[in-house]
Amino acid sequence: MEYWGLNKIIRHTDLLATALLIVTIVEFRPALCQQALDLNAQNLLAVELLQPSDAATVAAVHGCQVVRHLNLINHFALMRCSRLGINKKYKNNDNTTNRITHRIRRHALVVWAEPQVAKQRVKRDFGTTISADYLFFNDPFYSQQWYLQSGALGGHDLDVRSVWSMGYSGKGLVVSILDDGIEHWHSDLKDNYDPDASYDINGHDADPAPRDTPTNVNRHGTRCAGEVAATANNGVCSVGIAFDARIGGVRMLDGPITDSVEAESLSHNQGHIDIYSASWGPDDDGRTVDGPGRLAKQAFLKGVSSVSAFVLQCWGFCYLMYFW
């Protein structure tokens, strides 16, 4: 089992990056990601190739179709193989799947291949907060954001105002929320919204707006975006910890979550996005151990070896997120 320590991956861009990491280690209430757990991952196979141009050849030989190439360090492509018959559960034990995958792996132009199977991912959410008497902004709910202020019981707060007073308010930083989408038209987000830090992996379009449901289950990403970059002093809602940062969102939790989905989210527009925020992970049930797959690791390596930094949020038992 390979563990990726935080000290191996995180590069802090400034004090705000540190605060963004620390602010989220609090009591949480998990919420199951909205995903079709009883469905397969659309018979997708991730294939590592010697050269990008080899994808069409490999697909044709094995009766598959190239869906798209992945923007990672090595040459990866997603292929749809209609005969895969990927098992509907998390463990892929279907004989046909194993046979086709093994045949593709033996191809001279192929380095590695693996069926894309949906993983269980759980959104990290907050429990009840406590009120405070501090009013630093005109935003009506700032008085309840005790964790940003000094004076909480036992010193369990960030006292981030001292950081703001030093001029660190997120200005010049771009943050992207990898989640179930964000309501970028929200009055507390629209002024800081950055479309270049946004994408819809689930729907394959540029708009990360969450899918509307009667139960409003896809609200998690918008809440996370507000915690990071809600506009200050606009008389609306609350204050983001980095209220001058640009904020975007990648919609990726509203569907089967595979290694390739995580990798595409983590590698979206690297070079423009400074901080990728992911407030979700495997089950916090005390018995689940999970980590990034081969494709997600490639996305991390590509980011930290070139231009991007990863500051990942973590609640509760932190390893049950990922140590990225």
Strand ranges (DSSP E) for 55-173?
A: 65-70, 75-80, 110-115, 122-123
Mean pLDDT lowest among 154-158, 235-239, 319-323: 319-323
Structural domain spans, the chain: 40-87+94-115, 142-280+291-320
Domains 40-87+94-115 and 142-280+291-320 share a fold: no
Q: Please, what is the average pLDDT of the chain?
A: 80
Class of the CATH-defined domain 40-87+94-115 = alpha beta
The tokens for 163 are 């950081």
Backbone torsions φ then ψ of 21, nearest 5 degrees = -75, -45
pLDDT band at 311 (very low <50, low <70, confident <90, very high): low
Kindly list the distances between the CA atom of residue 77 and the CA atoms of 11, 41, 61, 285, 304, in Å, as whole numbers in the listed order.
29, 15, 15, 34, 22
Percent of the chain with pLDDT over 70: 73
Question: CA 297, 299, 300, 305: dihedral to nearest 10 degrees?
Answer: 120
157/145 Cα distance (integer angstroms):
10
Per-residue pLDDT for 262 more than 70? Answer: yes
pLDDT at 195: 99
Highest average pLDDT, of 4-18, 80-94, 266-280, comes from 266-280
pLDDT digits (tens, 9 = 90+) for 20-33: 443 333 334 445 55
Per-residue pLDDT for 127 more than 60? Answer: no
pTM for the full predicted model: 0.70
pLDDT band at 85 (very low <50, low <70, confident <90, very high): low
31/212 Cα distance (integer angstroms):
17
pLDDT digits (tens, 9 = 90+) for 146-178: 888 776 666 778 888 888 988 899 999 999 999
Q: Please name which of 155, 124, 122, 34 lies closest in space to residue 313, comparing C-alpha atoms.
A: 124
Class of the CATH-defined domain 142-280+291-320 = alpha beta
Backbone torsions φ then ψ of 47, nearest 5 degrees = -130, 130
199/68 Cα distance (integer angstroms):
16
pLDDT at 154: 67
